[in-house]
Amino acid sequence: MKKTSYLSIAVLLLIISSCTKNNLTGKSQLALVPEKEIQSLSLEQYKTFIAKHEVLNPAKDANAAMVQRVSNNISKAVQRYFKSKNTPEVLNGYNWEYNLVKDSAINAWCMPGGKVVVYTGILPVSKNENALAVVLGHEVSHALLQHGNQRMSQSMIQQFGGVALSVALANKPAQTQDVFMRAYGVGTEVGFALPFSRKHELEADRFGLIWAVMAGYDPNEAIAFWERMENISNGQKPPELLSTHPSDATRKKKIKEYLPEALKYKGK
Ligand SMILES: [Zn+2]
């Protein structure tokens, strides 16, 4: 047997042994990097990002206060959800923090571990708290669904043959950080982060609507929000959020399908 075949088998075995069951979807997924390691790397990147940005003070800035309020309601909804499913341990390692940063990019994200960042650039597009709840519900879902971990795992296999994160970090720190930043979309340049797949986008939409409803917001605003996103991109460079979270007719159709399910969670 050729050396490459042995290597392929080794990688295949690694993939099989690294498949875990997702806490939300119940589906099997590739998660090569332990969630704990992802959270600690996330925290490092988050601290670096925050140190480089102006964070608006919620005591002095009404928009920053709004971001705190909506994020807090979403995270409480998520906590209630997992408690009701008798799986509160899903949120182990989550220490929620919410920030509005002064940055004209149309962007927002949530890191595994519950670190939420909203850019001021998205506020003219979100326009109201219902849409902000939809955006935050969506971003929090990407973290909870471990989409970044799945993307990072795929890249780690492609680039490093699937070695452990600690080994990759020790041997190739720059490339490993790069893989992480692309997988999690924390790069500040448009086109730096990988776009989420359609499957991941729809999963994040579906659960994001549930959190928004549980948090007391109107999920119908989701359609109007994605339409506003598409309209600003006409003729201009696409907004950062749209480059990593592609939107199209299928998405809007699917959101309409998800709405009745989400609305069942009203008052829960
Ligand atoms: Zn997304």
Measured in Å, residue 8 CA sits from the centre of ligand 1 at 31
Q: Give 101-132 pLDDT, tens digit per residue.
A: 999 989 999 999 999 999 999 999 999 999 99
**Residue 85, domain member (yes or no):** yes
Q: What is the mean pLDDT of residues 193-212?
A: 90
**Residue 14, domain member (yes or no):** no
Exposed e or buried b per residue across 123-159, where buried means at least 16 C-beta atoms within 10 angstroms of its C-beta: bebbeebbbbbbbbbbbbbbbbbbbbbbbbbbbbbee
Would you state the structure tokens that stand for residue 61, as one six-digit string? 């800035």
Domain count, the chain: 1
Ion ligand 1: residues, CB < 5 A: 196, 201, 204, 245
Measured in Å, residue 203 CA sits from the centre of ligand 1 at 9
Give the whole-angstrom CA distance, residue 268 versus residue 211. 10
Tell me which residue of 103, 98, 115, 100 sits closest to 64, measured CA to CA. Answer: 100
Measured in Å, residue 108 CA sits from the centre of ligand 1 at 10
For the chain, how far is it from start to end, CA to CA, in angstroms?
58
Measured in Å, residue 4 CA sits from the centre of ligand 1 at 36
Please determine, for residue 73, whether its predicted confidence score (pLDDT) is greater than 90: yes
Please determine, for residue 190, whether its predicted confidence score (pLDDT) is greater than 50: no
State the pLDDT at residue 117: 96
**Residue 241, domain member (yes or no):** yes
State the pLDDT at residue 94: 95
Q: Count the Cβ atoms, other than its own, within 10 Å of residue 193.
A: 22
Q: What is the mean pLDDT of residues 28-56?
A: 88
Give the whole-angstrom CA distance, residue 216 versus residue 74. 9
**Residue 128, domain member (yes or no):** yes
Q: How does DSSP assign 227-241, residue by residue? A: HHHHHHHTTSPPPHH
**Residue 26, domain member (yes or no):** no
What rounded mean pLDDT belongs to the chain? 86
26-40, 180-194, 250-264: range with highest mean pLDDT: 250-264
**Residue 107, domain member (yes or no):** yes
Reported pTM: 0.88
N residues, the chain: 268
Provide the domain limits for residue 83. Answer: 35-263
Q: What is the mean pLDDT of residues 245-258?
A: 88
In degrees, rounded to 5, the angle at the alpha carbon of residue 50 between the alpha carbons of residues 44 and 56 is 155
Query: Mean pLDDT lowest for which of 49-63, 113-127, 151-165?
Result: 151-165
Give the whole-angstrom CA distance, residue 85 versus residue 179. 33
Query: Mean pLDDT lowest for which of 38-47, 79-88, 92-101, 231-240?
Result: 231-240
Beta pairing class for 108-111 and 28-30: unpaired
Measured in Å, residue 208 CA sits from the centre of ligand 1 at 10
State the pLDDT at residue 2: 54
Assess contact for 118 and 136: CB atoms under 8 A: yes
**Residue 58, domain member (yes or no):** yes
Q: How does DSSP assign 11-69, residue by residue? A: HHHHHHHTEEE-TTT--EEE--S-HHHHHHHHHHHHHHHHHHSPBPPTTT-HHHHHHHH
pLDDT confidence band for 9 (50 / 70 / 90): low
Measured in Å, residue 139 CA sits from the centre of ligand 1 at 6
State the pLDDT at residue 175: 83
Give the whole-angstrom CA distance, residue 203 versus residue 193. 19
- Three-state secondary-structure class, residue 247: coil
**Residue 68, domain member (yes or no):** yes
